Amino acid sequence: MSLTPTFLAFLQVIHTEGSKRVMNDCDQVGRWRRFVHAQYLNCLTFDLFEVYRDHVRTIELFVYLDDVMNKTSCIDCFSAEIKSQLSGAVVVVHNADTYPDINQEGINLQPGSLTEIKVKTIKHTQKTPPYGRCSPDTPITIKLYGTETYAYSEHACRMSTIQSQINDLCGCNAIEYPYLNGSLPFCLALNSFVHVGECEESNEIDSNSHSYEQSSAEASQWNWTESETLSKSTNFTISRCLAELETVKNHVACKSEVTTHFQGDVVPSCTLPCAFFSYETDRSTSTWPTKAWQLSWLGTKAGQKILNRPDLAEYRRARELLNSPDGEATAQEILTRSDVLERNLLAIMIIRPNFNLHNVEEKEVLSLTSLLSQSGGLFSIWIGLNMMSVIEVLELLVHLFNTCKTIQTSTSVDDDGEQHTDIQSGSVAKCDLTEPDGMLDHVDNTLEMQPGNGHPRSSNGPCPQINEPVCLMRMPSYKS
C-alpha cells in the first residue's frame, strides 16, 4: 500500500487474526519506504511483513495530515495539474514490495473521513512467445532510488530503463521516474531561483547573498568602490542565472528526445513475469470521526500521539473543561468552531473478504490441439460434401442416359410412320390391291401416285384426286 500526502504522522495499525483484533504500531507489522512522485512529491510505501500476509484480512490505519492552516498560497500546487491541488491523501493497493503505479491506480482519500477499501486478489498467468510476451527469466528484484530494492514488475522496469537513458545521455534525473543516481541533479533544478534576492526580476542584490560576498572579496582585492561592487555583483548574478536557464533548457530538450523513443512507456527490454498479482478495489467513504467522538478519540492510545500538537490546543482545553463542573457547554462550543481534526485526520480500512484467488490465464487463440480438431471437423464436412456431390453426379449421368435412350426410341417410331405421310405429299408408292380368290374386283389392281401433278393414276386410267388422308380398303364381294 502506498500513500501520497504532503506530510504524514502514522498512528497505528489494527489487524484481525481470526476474531481477535490486534493493535500495533506501524513499525511492528510492516515497514515504510519513501519515494518521490512528480505531482505529490514526498510519498511513502507501507509493506506488511511476510509473516502477516497469509492470514491478515483487515488493516485499519489512522493517519494525521499536517495540513498547512490559514495559508493563501500553495507552493506545491501546479496550475496545469488538478491532482496537485488536492487535500487529503492518495492510496494505492499493490503487490507487496513492488513499486506502485500511482498515476493509474491511485485512490483519493478525503480528510475527516473513514474510507473502507475491499480488495479482490487476481492472479495473472501469462504465456511465453510466440503466444504471449512474458519471460520466465525476469529478474527477481530491481534497484531504485540508489540502493532501495523492490520486487520486479514491468512498471518498475520501464521507469528504471527510461531514467537510466536520461542519466546517461542528459546527465540529470527526471522527476517523473524513480532516480537511480542520487548524485545527479534534477533536470528542472533551478537552485538560484529559489533563494530570494538571487534571480529576481528587479535585480536587487541582497547584501547577504553569495554573489555579493564574492564581489566584495574581489572589490577589496582590486580597490573597487561600493557602486562598482554592486554592479559587478549584479552582472555576476545575471550571468549565473542565464547560464542555469541554459542548462535547464538543454536538459529538458535532451529528456524530451529520450522519452520520444519510448512512446506510451513501452520498453522492449521489459517483459511481463509469467505470473503476477493485481488487485481490484471497491471502496466506500463516510464522515469520521463525529463531533461527539472527537474528544473521546483523543483520549485513546492513537489520539494521545497527536494531542500535544500546537494546532490542537483548543481540543486540549475542551478536554479539560469536560472534567470541570458546568464545563460541558463551553467544551461543546469549542468543538463546534474547531475543524482541525476534520481537515487532518482520516482512517483507512483495507479489507480482504476472503483468500480466494481469481485466476486470469492467457491461452492461445488457436493451439495445436484446437487446430487439429477444427481441421478434422472441416475435413469431415468436406468429405461428406464430396460424397454427396459424387452421388449427385452419378444420378445426373443415369438421368441423362435414360433421357437419351427415350429420345432414341421415339425417333425410331417416327421413322416408321413417314411412309404414310409421304403418300400424302406426293411420293411414289405402289399398293398391291390383288383380290383374293372368291372376291369381286371393283377397283384397279394398281394405284400409282404421279409426283408431277399429284393425281393418282391407275394402270388402266385416272384415279380420283385425294385431298384428305384416306384409308384404302378392299371390300370383299361374293358372287351369287
Quick: pLDDT tens for 314-363: 999 999 998 888 888 899 899 999 989 998 899 999 998 888 899 999 88
The string of DSSP codes covering 149-196 is: EEE--HHHHHHHHHHHHHHHHHSSB-TTS--S-TTSPBTT--HHHHST
Q: Which segment of 178-187, 235-244, 278-287, 310-319 scores lowest on mean pLDDT?
A: 235-244
Q: Which of 158-162, 319-323, 406-410 has the lowest mean pLDDT?
A: 406-410
Residue 211 binned pLDDT confidence (cut-offs 50, 70, 90): very low
Give pLDDT, residue 277: 92
Higher pLDDT, 99 or 441: 99
Give which of 267, 348, 383 is closest to 11, Cα–Cα. Answer: 348
For residue 457, is pLDDT > 50? no
Read off the pLDDT band of 445 (50, 70, 90). Answer: very low
pLDDT, position 161: 94
Q: In the predicted model, is pLDDT for residue 286 greater than 90?
A: yes
Q: Is the dihedral of CA 165, 182, 149, 35 positive or negative?
A: negative
pLDDT confidence bin for 115, thresholds 50/70/90: very high
Q: Is the pLDDT of residue 106 over 50?
A: yes
Asked whether residue 452 carries a pLDDT value surpassing 80, the answer given is no
Mean pLDDT of the chain: 78
How many other C-beta atoms can be found within 10 angstroms of the C-beta atom of residue 217? 11
Distance between first and last Cα of the chain: 145
pLDDT band (50, 70, 90) for residue 254: very high
Which residue has 510466440 as its cell numbers?
A: 130
Judged by average pLDDT, the poorest of 2-16, 32-46, 208-222 is: 208-222
Q: What is the pLDDT of residue 174?
A: 95
pLDDT above 90 (res 94):
yes
pLDDT in tens, 59-84: 888 888 877 666 777 776 777 778 77
3-class SS shares of the chain: helix, strand, coil, % to 5: 40, 25, 40
pTM above 0.75, yes or no: no
Which of the four pLDDT bands, split at 50, 70 and 90, describes residue 414? low
Percentage of residues in the chain with pLDDT exceeding 70?
A: 72
Grid cell in block for residue 196: 530570494
Predicted local distance difference test score (pLDDT) of residue 441: 46
Instruction: Give 346: exposed, middle or buried? Use CB within 10 Å, 0-12, 13-18, 19+.
Output: buried
> Between the ranges 9-13, 181-185, 205-209, 407-411, where is the mean pLDDT highest?
181-185
To which H or E segment does residue 37 belong?
Answer: strand 30-37
Has residue 253 got a pLDDT over 60? yes
pLDDT higher than 60, residue 435: no
Tell me the three cell numbers of residue 398: 443415369
Give residue 102's pLDDT: 92
Query: Is residue 53 very low, low, confident or very high in pLDDT (cuts 50, 70, 90)?
Result: confident
What average pLDDT score do residues 367-393 get?
82
| Alpha-carbon distances, residue 351 vs 59, 116, 118, 279, 333 (angstroms) | 7, 7, 5, 12, 37
CA 3 – CA 115 distance, rounded (Å): 13
C-alpha cell recorded at residue 393 = 453426379
HSE on the CB side for 238, CA within 13 Å? 10
